[in-house]
Chain A
Amino acid sequence: MSVETSLIRTLIAEHFGGEIEELGFSHGVHAFASPPDMIVELCQFLKGHPTLRFDFLSDICGVDHYPETLRYEAVYHLYSLPNKWRVRIKCRLGDPPRVPSVTGVWRTANWHEREAWDMYGIRFEGHPDLRRIYMWEGFEGFPQRKDFPLRGYKDTLNPFGAEGPPPTQPDLATKDIP
């Protein structure tokens, strides 16, 4: 346990109490678990704190833990340019997955969140423009989910795809993307 881990942990605990769970330090990254509704506040705190200064958002990553109950996860990797520390924030989400967007904290979150929406269907609430980024408009399903076949579903353009019904996504049926 390094000095900085205990420092980061103490500062977060002082501000948030027990709501942010600490997951330990491994391979150069301090990991924390946050409930989805705290994520924006936590990111703002980590970015704006005069000692911590996690000013750089490296990455946002969607994960599918099929078939667990809290199936989805959004993982944020933050970097502090002045301190050269890295932090990972993990956020478990239910089905359908919804989490507030951090585009208000970092503009770079825009495309990361669009990618996670495109691949996993994680809906980032408050995102200014949550469109698909890699797949084309009108594509059905979220290809990186664990229950999506590797070769896609069989149709006229994809004779090698898996047999089965074309995916009907209940949360895609409502077209009012936030």
Chain B
Amino acid sequence: MTEVTELSRPAGEALDTKEVLLNLGPQHPSTHGVLRLVLELDGEYVARVDPHIGYLHRGTEKLAESFTYTQIFPLTDRLDYLCPPSNNLAFALAVEKLLGIEAPIRAQYIRVLMAELARISGHLLITGALPMDLGAMTALVYAMREREMIMDLLEMISGARMHTSFCRVGGVREDLPDGFFPKIREFCDIFPNRIRDYERLVENNRVFLKRTQGIGVISAEDGIDLGLSGPNLRASGVDWDIRRDEPYEIYDRLAFNVITRDEGDCYARWRCRVEEMRESVRIIEQCLDQMPEGPFQIDMPTIAFPVNKDKVHCSMEALIQHFDLSAYGFKVPKGEVYSAIEAPKGELGFYIISDGSQKPFRMKVRAPSFVNLQGLFGVSNARYLADMIAVLGSFDPVMAEVDK
């Protein structure tokens, strides 16, 4: 018998009914990827839920053991493919901690800027996708319009729209391009009004409110017990944000609010994400104001490729170092590190054990979506099958990250 959770059933049920097993997915538009939910239905009520995952399992952790540290960046892109810069940042931070180095300040600003752009892009999708799951198509179309602007900005920085792979250990790959600042300022000016548009499209939609308010409530204790993190936990009233509580990079220089809601229902989780986008715009604007001039990469030829290659062309030692770095990668001292950041979906942690070679001995990804999906077991009052769709959408799982 499979482990499943009893969901509550309406009181006074007297009819004799037969329980039906129903497969939701793996190919179903509202499962946000390839997720299969085996639902045990009692009439129209969901009695139990048993998620089956692994349809997208690529063995990222096993693969990483045979890759050098620089080669792993593209793998991290493909975890939460809506916000690759956050994943790159989390991995780079973990390796930098092991090496005992820090990226230059300008690089840190660029990374944070990109991570916040990615947060907006990730939240935009769910802002539109949750109403779409519930039958309101319009918001998604508008959200995609703004997401296109972010894609253009990321393309301008890195040349890629989705899998940017822009972070490097000890900095970023390149400096920001010419003409980037006016573009992103324009985005920051336009975007807050656009957020207002999505809210107006949805927050007075009675169908949407009926289907999300008071549905899928998770208490703070249950949320912590089930390991939820990020907006999913903050929607239950837990005031925890790693950006503020364990500041990494330059987050301690930035002013932003941590958005919490008390209701813990689907609407609160959606609302939290919408408000977080406003805070992200604030963070981006501060980054633009504060960003200093300077190097974008650490000056250590054994770890990062030199920006100026003149030396490589006329010094034997520099040439050997350059060759060594390109052919074999850099060595990371023996040790282990767990480093977590506040990714758009929650706590994204990298646990790396290094044996002193160029490849990690073990890399474990603490993927927030994987853990958040267990929130399905904590939902106390999703009774109808249709509520399940709202609950699943409101957790915002990205299956590529769930399945690693």
Contacts and interface: CB of A to CB of B under 8 A. Distances in A.
Interface of A: 26-29, 55-59, 61, 63-64, 75, 77, 81, 84, 86, 88, 106-108, 110-112, 119, 128-129, 131-136, 143-144, 150
A61 to B, nearest CB: 4
B238 A81 contact: yes
Interface in B333-390: 335-340, 347, 349, 351, 353, 362, 364, 366, 370-371, 373-374, 377-378
Contact of A29 (B98, B224, B338): B338
Contacts of B373: 111
Contact of A108 (B98, B225, B240, B335): B225
Contacts of B97: 27
A150 B359 CA distance: 15
A59 B54 contact: no
Contacts of B238: 81
Given A28-B246, A59-B364, A110-B3, A81 B224 contact: yes
A108 B366 CA distance: 12
A29 B246 CA distance: 12
Contact of A136 (B54, B335, B364): B54
Nearest to A127: B3
Q: 6 tightest CB-CB pairs across the interface, nearest first?
A: A129-B3, A108-B227, A134-B54, A61-B364, A59-B366, A134-B57
B349 A58 contact: yes
Interface stretch (B13-21, B60-68, B275-283, B315-323): B60-68
B225 A58 contact: no
B186 interface: no
Chain B CB count within 10 A is highest, among A108, A112, A129, A150, for A108
Interface string B216-244: 00000000111100000000001010000
A107 B59 contact: no
Interface of B: 2-3, 53-54, 57, 59, 61-63, 66, 97-98, 224-227, 238, 240, 245-246, 335-340, 347, 349, 351, 353, 362, 364, 366, 370-371, 373-374, 377-378, 403-404
A27 B53 CA distance: 33
B350 to A, nearest CB: 10
Given A77-B366, A110-B374, A129 B403 contact: no
Nearest to A106: B225
Contact of A150 (B54, B57, B62): B62
A26 B351 contact: no
26 contacts: A28-B246, A58-B338, A58-B340, A59-B349, A59-B364, A61-B362, A63-B362, A75-B351, A77-B366, A81-B224, A81-B238, A107-B225, A107-B378, A108-B225, A110-B377, A129-B2, A133-B53, A134-B53, A134-B54, A134-B404, A144-B59, A144-B61, A144-B62, A150-B62, A150-B63, A150-B66
